[in-house]
Chains A and B, each alone.
Chain A
Amino acid sequence: MNAIVTVVGQDRVGIIAAICNRLAGHNVNILDISQTILQGSFTMVMAVDLSAASAPFDSLSASLAELGREMGLSIRIQREEIFNAMHTI
């Protein structure tokens, strides 16, 4: 199962490193990363593969949300299908 991780917040050193570390800790493979600074705020979208993940979806989601709170960022993970449904025919 693929999912999309989105991160929005104030730019600072080590955001990507921290998130990649957290994902690696759950054995989540990163497929693609795209990152920009939009109107001064850091915006990152990651496609990840959860097929070998060591944790169920809800604890992974909670773990990322907790990391977001620690770093003052909004981090969320959603299954890819919702974006496909809304934006592709």
Chain B
Amino acid sequence: MLNQKEILSTIEMIDQQHLDIRTITMGVSLLSCCDPDPARACGRIYDKICRCAEKLVQTGRDIEGEFGIPIVNKRISVTPMALVAGASETEDYVPFALALDRAGRTCGVDFIGGYSALVQKGFTEADRKLIRSIPEALARTELVCASVNVGSTRAGINMDAVAIMGRVVKDTAAATADREGLGCAKLVVFCNAVEDNPFMAGAFHGAGEAEKVINVGVSGPGVVHHALQAVKGQPFDVVAETVKKTAFRVTRMGQLVAQEASRRLDTPFGIVDLSLAPTPAVGDSVARILEEMGLETCGTHGTTAALALLNDAVKKGGVMASSSVGGLSGAFIPVSEDEGMIAAARSGTLCLDKLEAMTCVCSVGLDMIAVPGDTPAETVAAIIADEAAIGMVNNKTTAVRLLVTPGKTVGDTIEMGGLLGSAPVMPVHQESSADFIARGGRIPAPLHSLRN
């Protein structure tokens, strides 16, 4: 029989340390829905998503009940919409977003991602139309998430796209100003976007993926934090080992849930994304893990090194626990979604520049960071360019999800509620980047992109 202590420790992780499965995400290919008639294409999109994901939410609930592990979100990701909508003869892509939203509601999921365009090397006509429609699409839908990939290690950075996205982020905030600029929380600008990411807002079902697939994202900052409390003052080797062992356990659970969901939904298992995804709840924070390593406040000197260790140990522990690891896999540092990050930002210790440094060693990028509403579009674009450069040169995924809520200024807080949390507005540099962004063109790929 199983050891009683192990059984009780699992229950304690779930009850007191916020251990959960963050999301079961079903990826659905929409390539078969292309049609010259946009209304017919939207109908096909709605039908296909509903057909594939009909039982997703109920299956998630069943697994939750039988295994006693919370599954916080059930989500759908679809083929980047620009690839699908491009076949239709229309200038207006908003109906495609509305079709996704309707399908998401019918299936009862929390989010549906894939209102996306991949423009790292250049735009198609469809990409341009989709990007133009993002502010209105996000204002008129509830569940839809949008993402745009503006750079990659292979292709370099499309600076025309970066400039456009600076404006689109601002316009999205303005279009949802009555809801604290909530649209921005559902819009990510990527470099090196991955095709099998189960996490929002950046999830989409890549063109190289199967017809449909089940991806699972795990969580568990609280469990890692708790484990580290038992090794206070010990060397980093011990810290790394402790994180690895904990990540292994958390990921094994993710693997179990993924396989079970895959079997019940008769859908191939894709990947487990072994990420430490925080929530605004006390005791579920990545920042508090870094502080447990000996930092007074997250954001002070030493934070980047602590995060580098954490990110690496999470991967090493998780990789053996799953037959297939993918997605973003690492530690997330979204400011508004992490109680410790919110506190550190509020105290002024954690600033935008430090967060940028931290993104060199974590799994994604500048995530859920509130900046003043009057930040110029060129400055937003320049922040995107910096982040994309980190991703491009370091061969990793980086992303920017900035909240540029109109009327908000340093000292204010943006309240979004739920998993999205609340974000204290952070200052940005006042000096202009406008001439830099106005140049346009492409930043060439780095030398190490030539690996063949």
Contact of B11 among A6, A36, A47, A84 (CB under 8 A): A6
Is B8 a contact partner of A86 (Cβ separation < 8 A)? no
Complex interface: chain B residues within 8 A of A31 (CB): 1
Complex: chain B residue closest to A84, CB-CB: B2
Number of residues of chain A lying within 8 A (CB) of chain B: 26
DSSP majority for the B interface? helix
Contact of A78 among B8, B66, B252, B255 (CB under 8 A): B66
Complex: chain A residue closest to B19, CB-CB: A86
Is B249 a contact partner of A57 (Cβ separation < 8 A)? no
Is B4 a contact partner of A34 (Cβ separation < 8 A)? yes
Complex: chain A residue closest to B252, CB-CB: A85
Is B65 a contact partner of A82 (Cβ separation < 8 A)? no
| B47 CB, nearest partner CB in chain A, Å | 30
Question: Would A86 and B1 be within 8 Å (CB), given that A57-B65, A57-B66, A79-B66 are in contact?
Answer: no
Question: Would A87 and B10 be within 8 Å (CB), given that A34-B4, A80-B2, A81-B256 are in contact?
Answer: yes
Is B4 a contact partner of A85 (Cβ separation < 8 A)? no
Q: Decide if B253 is an interface residue (CB 8 Å cutoff).
A: yes
Contact of A85 among B3, B7, B62, B253 (CB under 8 A): B253
Docked Cα-Cα span, A66 to B356, in Å, equals: 50
Question: Would A86 and B11 be within 8 Å (CB), given that A34-B4, A47-B2 are in contact?
Answer: no
Complex interface: chain A residues within 8 A of B68 (CB): 76-79, 82
Complex interface: chain B residues within 8 A of A86 (CB): 6, 10, 249, 252-253
Interface set, chain B 122-155, CB cutoff 8 A to A: none
| B226 CB, nearest partner CB in chain A, Å | 14
Contact of A4 among B2, B62, B65 (CB under 8 A): B2
Q: Decide if A45 is an interface residue (CB 8 Å cutoff).
A: yes
Complex: chain A residue closest to B15, CB-CB: A74
Is A82 a contact partner of B2 (Cβ separation < 8 A)? no
Question: Would A45 and B7 be within 8 Å (CB), given that A81-B256, A83-B2, A86-B252 are in contact?
Answer: yes
Complex interface: chain A residues within 8 A of B4 (CB): 34, 36, 43, 45
Contact of A82 among B1, B3, B8, B67 (CB under 8 A): B67
| B366 CB, nearest partner CB in chain A, Å | 33
Complex interface: chain B residues within 8 A of A45 (CB): 2, 4, 7-8
| B274 CB, nearest partner CB in chain A, Å | 14
Complex interface: chain A residues within 8 A of B10 (CB): 82-83, 86-87
Complex interface: chain B residues within 8 A of A4 (CB): 2, 7
Interface set, chain A 1-51, CB cutoff 8 A to B: 4, 6, 8, 31-32, 34, 36, 38, 43, 45, 47
Docked Cα-Cα span, A76 to B8, in Å, equals: 12
Contact of B1 among A34, A43, A78, A85 (CB under 8 A): A34
Interface set, chain B 49-84, CB cutoff 8 A to A: 62, 65-69
Contact with A along B1-34 (1 / 0, CB 8 A): 1111011101100000000000000000000000
Q: Decide if A61 is an interface residue (CB 8 Å cutoff).
A: yes
Question: Would A81 and B67 be within 8 Å (CB), given that A47-B2, A86-B252, A87-B3 are in contact?
Answer: yes
Q: Which 4 A-B pairs have the closest CB atoms?
A: A78-B68, A85-B256, A87-B6, A85-B252
**Seed contacts A38-B8, A47-B1, A83-B2; 11 additional CB < 8 Å A-B pairs:** A4-B7, A6-B7, A43-B8, A45-B7, A58-B66, A61-B65, A77-B68, A78-B69, A84-B2, A87-B6, A87-B249
